[in-house]
């Protein structure tokens, strides 16, 4: 699958819930996982592959793959932490973003099974970043205008190379 890059409009659009989890959904999730791994990413959301659907794939620090369909955050820690984020739709740029250290998430997997997960550390970071994609939010939106401008200039420069 082709990964859509910033500033494509689709990255700013809101997704719709997956109405039925079927074979097609499972194939989409599998293709997204392959694309994520090939792109050396640890998360990939629907809009990034041209699908305005509420789903994303991710892997934890051990490389274990996860599929989150119609995900929802049901709890966040008060404690926050800074971590340097990047995005497959904004290749080559990275910046620290502060987010809750831990989150509780609920979703369905590609087999249609409902699950809840307590996330902390890297997977908590990925889950929050990918959930943002489903609402049209990108990690650069958290930066100060000055930092964002500087980073986007660097991105444009790298994109031309």
Q: Which residues are catalytic?
A: 130
Per CB under 5 A, the segment of 28-36, 51-59, 79-87, 92-100 that binds Ni ion is 79-87
Least separation, in Å, of the C-beta of 3 and Ni ion? Answer: 10
97 binds Ni ion (CB under 5 A): no
87 binds Ni ion (CB under 5 A): yes
Separation of alpha carbons 5 and 26, rounded Å: 24
Cα of 58 vs its chain's centroid, Å: 8
Tokens for 151? 């980073």
Least separation, in Å, of the C-beta of 137 and Ni ion? Answer: 10
Q: Which residues contact 40 (CB under 8 A, 6 or more apart)?
A: none
Per CB under 5 A, the segment of 3-11, 24-32, 50-58, 84-92 that binds Ni ion is 84-92
Q: What is the dihedral of CA 109, 68, 58, 143, to 10 degrees?
A: 180
Which residue's beta carbon is nearest to the bound Ni ion?
87
Residues that bind Ni ion (CB under 5 A): 87
């Amino acid at each position: 699958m082709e990964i859509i890059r910033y500033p494509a409009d689709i990255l700013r659009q809101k997704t719709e819930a997956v109405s039925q989890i079927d074979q097609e959904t499972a194939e989409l999730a599998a293709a997204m996982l392959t694309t994520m791994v090939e792109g050396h990413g640890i998360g990939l959301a629907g809009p990034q592959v041209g699908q305005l659907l509420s789903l994303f794939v991710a892997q934890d620090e051990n490389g274990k793959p996860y599929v989150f369909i119609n995900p929802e955050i049901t709890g966040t820690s008060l404690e926050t932490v800074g971590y340097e984020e990047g995005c497959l739709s904004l290749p080559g740029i990275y910046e620290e973003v502060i987010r809750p250290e831990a989150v509780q998430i609920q979703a369905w997997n590609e087999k249609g099974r409902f699950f809840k997960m307590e996330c902390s550390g890297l997977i908590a970071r990925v889950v929050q970043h990918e959930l943002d994609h489903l609402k049209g939010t990108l990690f650069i939106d958290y930066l100060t205008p000055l930092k964002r401008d500087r980073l986007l200039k660097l991105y444009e420069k790298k994109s031309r190379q």
